[in-house]
Amino acid sequence: MGNDLHFNRERFQRRKNNSVKSSIVLVVLLLVLIGAWIYLSKTAKGKDPQTTETKTNSNMKTVTDFFLTGKNGQQISLAEYKGKVLLIVNTATGCGFTPQYDELEAMYKRLKDKGFEILDIPCNQFGNQTPGTDAEITEFCQLKFGTDFPQFKKSDVNGENELPLYTWLKSQKGFEGFDADNKLTPILEKMFDEKAPGWRETADIKWNFTKFLINRNGEVVARFEPTHPLDKVEAAVTALL
């Protein structure tokens, strides 16, 4: 009798834990879809930044030729990262993919001593999911996820005001599709098809947490969409170290 009671309690606890996990997954899914719907609804009414043609600056050959603006307004040459493997990510604080900060920070801790850096560029272009100031964004990331990798000024990655760095990145690696195994992919594709026809043919950034992998020579070797598993991203990074 006692063993049966203990077994029933364990089975109830497992069901409760599974229910909590399912609820978390559902919340993440809804956040991504709501943000995508808001973003696509706005861009469909006016000029869609996703359809902006990629401009190439022939004088820029590697990532070390570019500058980024720090959170305090100072210009930072990416030549400071010469010889390192880089993962450049456009991030958001209120997106369904925001929990990727946890995995990115874990990856950074494991690999930074081997010559790896993550360059975090917050962006508010996708569903207005990064509304805070640079100071608020940094505080959020450090308190909630303990991030320690370099974070730069909030910037545009598409459109007329996009960073020159992103103009170059997109010219090196265009959009090749969302990950086929991610359950969000068919839903995202359907919404993009309805709201932004031709989106597959543009090189522009589609959503938060798109990642560009740079080798030690400053060359773009891979692009990962936010639906791409982080363990596969880390495997690609590790292969370059």
Could you say which DSSP state residue 156 is in?
Answer: B
Point out the catalytic residue in the list 95, 123, 163, 240: 95
Q: Which distant-in-sequence residues (6+ apart) come within 8 Å of 184 by Cβ?
A: 29, 32, 33, 96, 178, 227
Residue 123 designated active-site = no
Q: Are residues 84 and 115 in contact, defined by beta-carbon separation less than 8 angstroms?
A: yes
Considering Cα of 89, then 93, then 95, then 99, what sign does the dihedral take? Answer: positive
H/E run at residue 221: strand 220-224
Per-position DSSP letters for 185-210, written without gaps between them: HHHHHHHHHHHSTTGGG--S--STT-
Beta strands 85-91; 116-122: pairing state:
parallel
Q: Which residues are tagged catalytic?
A: 95
